Amino acid sequence: MKRVFLPVERLSTLEADLRRFRDGHKLNGYQEHILNTYNFQPPAADFTIRSVCLVATPIWARQNLCFAFKDQDCVFPMPGGRINPDDSQKGLLARFSAEGIRAVSAESLPQKRLAVCSGLAAYGRNNITYIEGMGSYFLLEAFYTNQPCDDPWRDVVGMEGCATCNECIQACPTQTILADRFLIDNERCLTSMNQSAEPKFFPEWVDSYSHNCVHDCLICQSVCPKNAPYQENIAPLVSFTETETRMLLCAIPYEWMGDQMRQKIDRLELAPYLAALPRNIKALLRQMQIA
């Protein structure tokens, strides 16, 4: 786990920085939507907010899932979860409390950009952030705290080596990562497409063999040289019976699942993607010619 504190006053700097960024780049509708979700005003709290803390906790490079279907075991990956379950938001708040630090969640801040401007992370060419010793395999959590701190602020920087490396650009199956601009075309990104149930069917221009994950996409991270040391950090396999697989393919509501299956869904944090899983898993099964 790594963390960094910034003075809360830096939020006004960040807000102005993103305003200039918006004015200087042509953004698509999804990017405009994301920018509009940010809130730079600290909340009311029963302590004096002095800083923002960014915490990065390590995750598995991937999590493999085994789906029993038509007498075959079909193994497909998804992004990995927390290596240490205690690194949840609740667990991190408990650690703050044990240190005598008061803290509340700061979920509405642009965490990636804060991590880069704090010196904790750097942007990769694929617009994903990287941390020394973790690669891109970490989760960020932001908190408002009463902890006084120095000011580590810096300008946005790209990761060393990205300027002369085109691995992610060449590997991206939907040409999401652009050579001539920093922003990716996230409306073409497989991650953006397969996180939600819409569209009901993938666009025809998406090659059926580009699908590689139960949700999200791992291609640009998997080919990145900076992630090479972490590729074998694979979470223990989780298996679904044929009955459970068919329940997922039929979009059975979470409430209708048995206790054992709900425990798997909770442990894998799959609940937000349940509506999208039928389409995504079917796309993967078609690659194996068993859908």
Distance separating alpha carbons of residues 57 and 155, to the nearest angstrom: 23
Distance separating alpha carbons of residues 38 and 15, to the nearest angstrom: 9
- Report the pLDDT averaged over residues 184-207: 89
The per-residue pLDDT for 200 is: 85
- Report the pLDDT averaged over residues 128-133: 96
Q: Is the pLDDT of residue 171 over 70?
A: yes
**Residues in Cβ contact with 34 at an 8 Å cutoff, skipping those fewer than 6 apart:** none
- Report the pLDDT averaged over residues 129-149: 97
The per-residue pLDDT for 240 is: 98
Gyration radius from the chain CA atoms: 20
Strands (E) across 119-230 are located at 122-123, 129-130, 138-145
* Residue 3 CB neighbours (<10 A): 16
Q: Over the stretch 22-58, which tens digit does the pLDDT of each residue have? A: 888 778 787 888 888 999 999 999 999 999 999 999 9
- 66 or 208: which leads in pLDDT: 66
The per-residue pLDDT for 21 is: 82
The per-residue pLDDT for 109 is: 96
- Residue 264 amino acid letter: K
Helix%, strand%, coil% for the chain, nearest 5 = 35, 20, 45
Q: Is the pLDDT of residue 153 over 90?
A: yes
Q: Is the pLDDT of residue 289 over 90?
A: no
Q: Give the residue among 127, 291, 87 at the shortest CA–CA distance from 217.
A: 127
- Report the pLDDT averaged over residues 215-244: 97
- Residue 227 amino acid letter: N
Which has the minimum average pLDDT: 18-27, 90-99, 282-291? 18-27
What number of H helices and E strands is found in the chain? 10, 9
Domain boundaries, the chain: 2-287
Place 291 in a pLDDT band, splitting at 50, 70 and 90: low
Q: Over the stretch 91-120, which tens digit does the pLDDT of each residue have? A: 999 999 999 999 999 989 999 999 999 999
- Report the pLDDT averaged over residues 229-257: 97
List, as one string, the DSSP characters of 229-268.
GGTT-EEEEEEE-HHHHHHHHTT--GGGS-HHHHHHHHHH
The CA-CA-CA angle for residues 237, 287, 200, to 5°, reads 95
Distance separating alpha carbons of residues 92 and 89, to the nearest angstrom: 5
Q: Is the pLDDT of residue 63 over 80?
A: yes
Q: Give the residue among 246, 238, 239 at the shortest CA–CA distance from 281.
A: 246
**Residues in Cβ contact with 137 at an 8 Å cutoff, skipping those fewer than 6 apart:** 58, 59, 60, 61, 80, 221, 227, 230, 233
For 21, 143, 279, the CA distances from 6, given in Å and listed in that order, are: 21, 11, 42
- Report the pLDDT averaged over residues 137-147: 98
Beta bridge partners of 7: 51
